[in-house]
């Protein structure tokens, strides 16, 4: 039998891919409309896109970047939990809460981008990650 905590890990990877598709589906047409030729771009930086594309298009790209940041800690700590044999029950439930909060964070950031709600969702997901880290520490130390 596998560890239940693997499911929310896979779900968050799938969500990250959804955000990637959403980003490409909106960003590429916006780049074309702005006269940006991908074939001629050399050494661009994220700030270049922020200056050249509408903010609501960039919000999606910013969120995709955020899904490459703190969630990497989530994947690592969930792997420790799975390998320690403690990935079922409460740890799996906390991991699902983390994923749900990250999905909500994505939806807020990619649509209305209100900082207050985004911060609260980020803070709540960080608390869930901290709980998982505590549980992983208890399992391996």
pLDDT for the residue 26: 97
- Distance CA(94)–CA(129), nearest Å, equals 8
Q: How many domains does the structure of the chain reveal?
A: 1
Long-range CB contacts (< 8 A, 24+ apart) of 137-140?
Answer: 139/80, 139/81, 139/84, 139/85, 139/86, 140/80, 140/84
Q: What does the alpha-carbon distance between residue 10 and residue 32 come to, in Å, rounded to a whole number?
A: 33
Give percent of the chain with pLDDT exceeding 90: 86
For residue 35, the domain's CATH number is: 1.20.120.550
pLDDT tens-place string over residues 36-77:
888 887 887 777 788 889 999 999 999 999 999 999 999 999
List the one residue out of 58, 59, 60 whose CA is nearest residue 16: 60
Does 6 score more than 70 pLDDT?
yes
Mean pLDDT of the chain: 95
1 found inside a domain? no
129 domain residue, yes or no:
yes
Q: Are 101 and 45 in contact (CB under 8 A)?
A: no
pLDDT of residue 33: 94
Examine residue 24 and state whether it is found in any structural domain, yes or no: yes
The 10s digit of each residue's pLDDT in 86-127 is 999 999 999 999 999 999 999 999 999 999 999 999 999 999
Q: For residue 92, is it within any domain?
A: yes
pLDDT of amino acid 1: 63
Domain that holds residue 75: 6-140
Residue 39 placed within a domain: yes
What is the pLDDT, as a whole number, of residue 20?
98
Domain membership of residue 132 (yes or no) is yes
Q: Of 11, 42, 38, which Cα lies nearest the Cα of 24?
A: 38
């Amino acid at each position: 039998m596998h560890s239940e905590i693997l499911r929310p890990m896979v779900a968050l990877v799938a969500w990250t891919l959804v955000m990637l598709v959403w980003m490409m589906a909106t960003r590429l047409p916006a780049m074309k409309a702005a006269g940006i030729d991908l074939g001629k771009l050399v050494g661009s930086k994220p700030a270049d896109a922020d200056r050249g594309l509408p903010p609501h298009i960039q919000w999606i790209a910013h969120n995709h970047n955020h899904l490459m940041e703190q969630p990497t800690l989530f994947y690592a700590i969930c792997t420790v939990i799975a390998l320690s044999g403690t990935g079922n029950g409460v740890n799996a439930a906390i991991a699902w809460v983390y994923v749900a909060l990250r999905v909500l964070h994505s939806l807020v950031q990619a649509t209305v981008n209100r900082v207050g709600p985004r911060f609260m969702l980020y803070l709540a997901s960080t608390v869930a990650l901290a709980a998982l880290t505590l549980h992983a520490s208890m399992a391996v130390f």
